[in-house]
Chains A and B, each alone.
Chain A
Amino acid sequence: MMITKKPALVCPAGSLRALTLAVDAGADAVYLGLKDATNARNFAGLNFDDAQVREGVRHAHARGAEVLMALNTYADARDTGPWQRAVDRAAELGADALIVGDTAVMAYARRTHPGMRLHLSVQASATTYEAIEFYRERYGISRAVLPRVLTMQQVAHVIRNTSVDIEVFGFGSLCVMVEGRCALSSYVTGQSPNTAGVCSPPAAVRWEEKRDGGVDARLGGVLIDHYAPDEPRGYPTLCKGRFDVEGERDYALEEPTSLNTLAMLPQLIDAGVKAFKIEGRQRSPSYVAEVTRVWRAAIDAATSGARYSVQPAWSAQLTRWAEGQQHTLGAYDRPWR
């Protein structure tokens, strides 16, 4: 077997602690966001101030890892200043690339910091090579993160038809909707990933104890799910609730599951995937450390030239962190096709 150039392992950093652990566990790059609405994990207690970015960059660069700054929400019509300042800050603080979805932000970065590398965020919803080539020709993007809706064959087809490096999601919570084009959260709460960097925000969540000992989970007043006393409870992300369609109560859109592509790692690498992204800036530093360790081992194994198989220990470790305790390959392999 040909020994392929190793794809990059790109890991989430919601805090300096997570960043440090990810780098030490073997991440090739970490991605982070600032403490404001310019990134799609705009949660209280999460993200970085300038001093923390500087410290994170120092730690990562000292160990040969890159720092990518997620600037992946859409600049607000009332004031695009914070998005422009975030681009400036990324450049000043030494970030290696920006992860961007908004053409306004890309144009500003191109104009003001022409040397800054741009990665197309999954929030830009580029699902074809035509779309990716558009962003390359207009804004010089050098990498694109594909939405989690394409099949293995479609991913390979995109890669064959663009010179832009392709990054795909390897592990984490599964968005069943195309990223960057989902207004379900703003329909119910007024806030969406595009506008506020949040989906189903905690401030809109209400838990109600019921007489039967169970609990109702509401979002913006809408009943998303009811859990019986003995049922495990999940966060009421809107698309993962149980609803009624023609008299059947079920997960009508998506069951709470996690994406895990370890089983197709060799095929994805053969297809030419240049980077694997681990989802979860909102998760704990221990999640980041363990998932990074497993993925480091898997990528090393898949590119070693030796026969690859998913190690039971890897699966066992990832299962501990999987939402809903079950894994799927997402759309890459569509049993429902």
Chain B
Amino acid sequence: MTNMTQDAAGQTRPLSITIGPLQYWWARPAMMAFYAEVAESAARRVVLGEVVCSRRNEYKFDDWVALARDLKSAGKEVVLATQALVMSEAELRTLRRIAEQDEFAVEAGDASALHVLWQAQQARPQRPGFTIGPHINVYSREALQEHAALGASCWVPPLELALDAIGRINPEAERVAGPAGPMQTEVFAFGRMPLAFSARCFTARHHRLNKDECEFRCQQDADGLLLKTSEGDAFLVLNGIQTQSAALHCVIGEGAALRAAGATGVRLSPCSRGFARVIALFDAVLNAGMPAAEALAELRALDLPGALVDGFAHRQPGMAPLAA
């Protein structure tokens, strides 16, 4: 791992930046342009893969691996993620291809992946540790210990978990540790939040199409399909079988609280506009002393897809707006 240690002043431990998996289906040119920007960015780690719907078939396993190699040669640590909701044998086959390869580290999307990864770890104990994705239910230190024992070395807490709870579960002074070493904590720090999953595709339903003849309509929604209340307030986003928040979680001003909670890194979730600047601003504020207020003012002027909220970080409803 890179240098995560605290310096003598105890203030400036760097927070490594990770680009979370793309939640939407972007056409190849847009996606390639996006990852070309990421390759040039301050991000250290990039999570790749189709995590929402197996009907999104433009990029196969080999396409993701090719992209992973490109990003690796650009100096990024690359992680391949498995789908969050797995229901069919075909989806299990894809999951096994991802979880059983040894070239890149893996992020587990569900308990099926935990099983396959645990077995792979038993067969080849020298494998790198895997990442526990945000949709795996770890809400206590004991639960994190259970997952560390499987060979995990990085934990992305559930989105609804508050920073104080994250700090109790895996504090810097007393890291949970398993066969793959001490656990890193990567906190979801920016982007629309995946809040729920269903067997049903809400995008197809809106277009009055069956899921199996969905005409891949979600390709038209670069940041998902907005759902508003009858009063016209942006509320949620339909993204195929996934439901997201319309607002974007943003804890750019919480550097001290993130470090106090034992975070070793932050995860930024892709959006279609302004994302390169988002990465630069997070790095500037968290690792280079830029005042958060200044960065926030710029974020708010960026034409991002939604308002900024941070309730989950503070034991509030997730939609609670960012103060100031």
Known: A187-B317, A244-B227, A246-B206. Is A107-B195 also a contact (CB below 8 A)? no
Q: Which of A217-274 contact B (CB under 8 A)?
A: 220, 222-226, 239, 242-246, 248-249, 252-254
> 1/0 per position for A87-105, CB-CB distance to B under 8 A?
0000000000000011110
A247 smallest CB distance to B (angstroms): 9
Identify A253's interface contact among B138, B142, B229, B243, CB under 8 A.
Answer: B243
Decide if the interface of chain B is mainly helix, strand, loop or mixed.
mixed
Q: Which of B43-96 contact A (CB under 8 A)?
A: 84-89, 92, 95
Q: Are A128 and B112 in contact (CB-based, < 8 A)?
A: yes
Give the CA-CA distance A245 to B205 in the complex, in Å: 11
Tell yes or no: B159 within 8 A of A by CB.
Answer: yes
Give the CA-CA distance A184 to B242 in the complex, in Å: 11
- Stretch touching chain A among B26-34, B113-121, B250-258: B113-121
**Which residue in chain B gives the minimum CB-CB distance to A223?**
B229
> 1/0 per position for A22-47, CB-CB distance to B under 8 A?
00000000000000000000000000
Q: Are A128 and B92 in contact (CB-based, < 8 A)?
A: yes
Q: Which of A178-206 contact B (CB under 8 A)?
A: 178, 180-184, 186-190, 192, 194-195
Give the CA-CA distance A153 to B118 in the complex, in Å: 27
Q: Are A103 and B147 in contact (CB-based, < 8 A)?
A: yes
Identify A107's interface contact among B86, B138, B146, B169, CB under 8 A.
Answer: B146
Give the CA-CA distance A106 to B159 in the complex, in Å: 23
Q: Are B230 and A102 in contact (CB-based, < 8 A)?
A: no
Tell yes or no: A70 within 8 A of B by CB.
Answer: no
Tell yes or no: B319 within 8 A of A by CB.
Answer: yes
Q: Are A246 and B317 in contact (CB-based, < 8 A)?
A: no
Tell yes or no: A18 within 8 A of B by CB.
Answer: no
Residues in B with CB closer than 8 Å to A157 are 89
Known: A76-B139, A244-B232. Is A134-B168 also a contact (CB below 8 A)? no
**Which residue in chain B gives the minimum CB-CB distance to A137?**
B115
Q: Are A178 and B226 in contact (CB-based, < 8 A)?
A: no
Known: A243-B229, A244-B230. Is A131-B139 also a contact (CB below 8 A)? no
Q: Are A184 and B140 in contact (CB-based, < 8 A)?
A: no
Q: Are A134 and B196 in contact (CB-based, < 8 A)?
A: no
> 1/0 per position for B120-147, CB-CB distance to A under 8 A?
0000000000000001011111110011
Give the CA-CA distance A225 to B231 in the complex, in Å: 10
- Stretch touching chain B among A119-127, A289-297, A307-315: A119-127
- Stretch touching chain A among B266-274, B290-298, B308-316: B308-316
Residues in B with CB closer than 8 Å to A248 are 206
Q: Are A133 and B143 in contact (CB-based, < 8 A)?
A: no
Q: Are A75 and B142 in contact (CB-based, < 8 A)?
A: yes
Tell yes or no: A337 within 8 A of B by CB.
Answer: yes
Identify A134's interface contact among B115, B195, B205, B317, CB under 8 A.
Answer: B115
Tell yes or no: B7 within 8 A of A by CB.
Answer: no
Q: Are B114 and A107 in contact (CB-based, < 8 A)?
A: no
> 1/0 per position for B183-201, CB-CB distance to A under 8 A?
0000000000101111110
Q: Are B227 and A127 in contact (CB-based, < 8 A)?
A: no
Q: Are A252 and B202 in contact (CB-based, < 8 A)?
A: yes
Residues in A with CB closer than 8 Å to B317 are 186-190, 220
Q: Are B88 and A154 in contact (CB-based, < 8 A)?
A: yes
Tell yes or no: B180 within 8 A of A by CB.
Answer: no
Residues in B with CB closer than 8 Å to A126 are 111
**Which residue in chain B gives the minimum CB-CB distance to A106?**
B146
Give the CA-CA distance A243 to B237 in the complex, in Å: 11
**Which residue in chain B gives the minimum CB-CB distance to A153?**
B88
Q: Are A103 and B143 in contact (CB-based, < 8 A)?
A: yes
Q: Are B211 and A253 in contact (CB-based, < 8 A)?
A: no
B310 smallest CB distance to A (angstroms): 12
Q: Are A183 and B227 in contact (CB-based, < 8 A)?
A: no
Tell yes or no: A169 within 8 A of B by CB.
Answer: no
Tell yes or no: A159 within 8 A of B by CB.
Answer: no
Tell yes or no: B100 within 8 A of A by CB.
Answer: no
**Which residue in chain A gives the minimum CB-CB distance to B168?**
A77
Give the CA-CA distance A243 to B165 in the complex, in Å: 33
Q: Are A186 and B196 in contact (CB-based, < 8 A)?
A: no
Tell yes or no: A108 within 8 A of B by CB.
Answer: yes
Tell yes or no: A152 within 8 A of B by CB.
Answer: no
Interface residues of B (CB under 8 A from A): 84-89, 92, 95, 110-112, 114-116, 118, 135, 137-143, 146-147, 158-161, 165-166, 168-169, 193, 195-200, 202, 204-206, 210-212, 225-233, 235-236, 238, 243, 245, 311-312, 315-319
A-B CB contact pairs (8 Å), 10 listed: A102-B137, A103-B142, A127-B87, A127-B112, A128-B86, A181-B196, A190-B316, A222-B229, A242-B230, A254-B200
Closest 6 CB pairs of A and B: A134-B115, A149-B199, A104-B142, A131-B111, A130-B112, A74-B139
